[in-house]
Amino acid sequence: MRYLPSSPAEDRALLDTIGVPRAEDLLVGIPESLRLKGGLDLPAQGSEQEVTWQMLDLANRNTRFCAQFLGAGAYDHFVPSAIDAMVSRQEWFTAYTPYQPEISQGTLQHIFEYQTLICDLTGLDVTNASLYDGGTACVETALMAVRVQKKRNTVLVSRGLHPLYRQVLATNFAPHDDLKLVEVDLKDGVTDLADLQAKLNGDVAAVMVGYPNFLGAVEDLTALAGPVHAAGALLVSVTQEALAFGWLEAPGKAGADMACGEAMSFGNKPNFGGPYLGFLAVKDAHKREIPGRVVGQTKDLDGRTGYVLTLTAREQHIRRDKATSNICSNQGLVALRANIYLQVAGPEGLKGLAEQNVAKAQYLRQRLLELPDMEPVFDHPFFNEFVLRYKGDMAALQEACLAESLLPGLDLGRFYPEYQGCILWCATELHTRRMIESLVEILARVPATV
């Protein structure tokens, strides 16, 4: 086995020092009756060459596309070369959690910078070292909202939140008989203000809305903040496409009390859904209720500035069942990718990229609407995703696109029965005019509905 360094003679020496003839003799602590008889029924070890081919074969069994017009929580953006080059340094990817600050300042300072950037993007005061992904970030935020709002036990969730985020929320709320998760309807593709007002009461701890929401629409956080705050609840903005922060006002400045979501767009490929990057940001008053790891600045004995994991009194290794969460890791390397991405992009790069996303999506929408079978559904400002109704045969559309190696948008009927026949389209800076025109040409040839 190429990964095991001792020679047979060295192994012998190790066993002699221990004082046992065979390695198996060290298993005495495991009762004979509980040991595995015979070996595992699995293939034998493979050489690097054999395994490379085997895995390449699997990778190649996925269909490759010239262009993907599908977003829905997983966005394809250009990844600057600096990111893979940097992240493949062993000092970053093979290191562990920075428990020993004197030997981990690299990771700690990186997380401190990452935290600064998340606060900047969201316009809020405090964040953590990152969470698993958008859906689980929603869970941690909702549970935190209930914690800080003491006697309130209900979280209102707009149906404009990513449907899979809502499913993750439901799973995690199910064990808590004392907590309630209530959905707020959509009207014209955004949170229905009348339904929201009807459901706001003294039990509501927080209201979660998409910004932009799953249907691509920019929800007016400021308008929603009025009634939400009047009812004593917190407004939580949930963003699944963090690049939108280059175009949209920071949620904290637009009326949100907490912001969470998914930041995979900063330096990652779609990667079949993970690893991604959950984030959560809150106001200073709530910092001691935040879940997960947090890095803080301090001094060493000689007064030099350095960084440490801090506010650990909230965490599971100290508080055990009273901890703010059971999470004891972060998405360290994905946060590093985001940090590098944001530093390379800078304010001008981020704004410019965001503008390009809007321009491409607007162009895609305009061109698609030239097709006789495509109809507008909503008229809201959108970032890089929007919904159109397709009057033709959905299966034929799928087939025509795939035949030309294009992945079309999401058939919304899968998640929203009320939007049966509608498609959620996405365009990013990766979509050239030519790709968009090809899509339109291909769709124009789809046979009309019988």
Q: Looking at residues 187 to 216 of the shown chain, list those that interact with other proteins (rule: CB under 8 A).
A: none
Least distance to other proteins, CB of residue 231, Å: 21
Least distance to other proteins, CB of residue 190, Å: 12
Of 4 and 450, the one with the shorter C-beta distance to other proteins is 4
Residue 54 burial (10 A CB sphere; 0-12, 13-18, 19+): exposed
Site for other proteins, residues 354 to 413, rule: CB under 8 A: 354-356, 358-360, 362-363, 381-382, 398, 402, 407, 410
Site for other proteins, residues 104 to 133, rule: CB under 8 A: 104-107, 109-110, 112-113, 115-117, 119-121, 125-127, 129-130, 132-133
**Per-residue tokens: 402:** 């795939």
Q: How many residues at the interface with other proteins, by CB under 8 A?
A: 206
**Per-residue tokens: 424:** 């959620």
Residue 441 burial (10 A CB sphere; 0-12, 13-18, 19+): exposed
Sequence-distant (≥ 6) Cβ neighbours of residue 31 within 8 angstroms: none
Among 145, 184, 295, 406, binds other proteins (CB under 8 A): 295
Site for other proteins, residues 258 to 277, rule: CB under 8 A: 262, 269-276
Least distance to other proteins, CB of residue 243, Å: 12
183 belongs to the binding site for other proteins (CB under 8 A):
no
Residue 35 burial (10 A CB sphere; 0-12, 13-18, 19+): exposed
450 belongs to the binding site for other proteins (CB under 8 A):
no
8 belongs to the binding site for other proteins (CB under 8 A):
no
Among 67, 77, 98, 374, binds other proteins (CB under 8 A): 98
11 belongs to the binding site for other proteins (CB under 8 A):
yes
Peptide bond into 270 cis (omega under 30): no
Residue 326 burial (10 A CB sphere; 0-12, 13-18, 19+): exposed
Residue 273 burial (10 A CB sphere; 0-12, 13-18, 19+): exposed
Of 399 and 418, the one with the shorter C-beta distance to other proteins is 399
**Per-residue tokens: 439:** 């899509």
279 belongs to the binding site for other proteins (CB under 8 A):
no
222 belongs to the binding site for other proteins (CB under 8 A):
yes
- Angle ∠(440,441,446) on CA atoms, nearest 5: 90
Among 320, 403, 445, 450, binds other proteins (CB under 8 A): 320
168 belongs to the binding site for other proteins (CB under 8 A):
yes
146 belongs to the binding site for other proteins (CB under 8 A):
no
Q: Is 413 helix (H, G, I), strand (E, B) or coil?
A: helix
* Stretch of residues binding other proteins (CB under 8 A), selected from 29-37, 144-152, 188-196, 441-449: 29-37
Among 136, 158, 239, 428, binds other proteins (CB under 8 A): 136
417 belongs to the binding site for other proteins (CB under 8 A):
no
**Per-residue tokens: 6:** 């001792």
One-character DSSP codes across 167-235: HHHHHHHTT-TT-EEEEE-EETTEE-HHHHHHH--TTEEEEEEETT-TTSB---HHHHHHHHHHTTPEE
Of 120 and 404, the one with the shorter C-beta distance to other proteins is 120
Among 331, 338, 422, 428, binds other proteins (CB under 8 A): 331
Site for other proteins, residues 226 to 255, rule: CB under 8 A: 245-250, 253-254
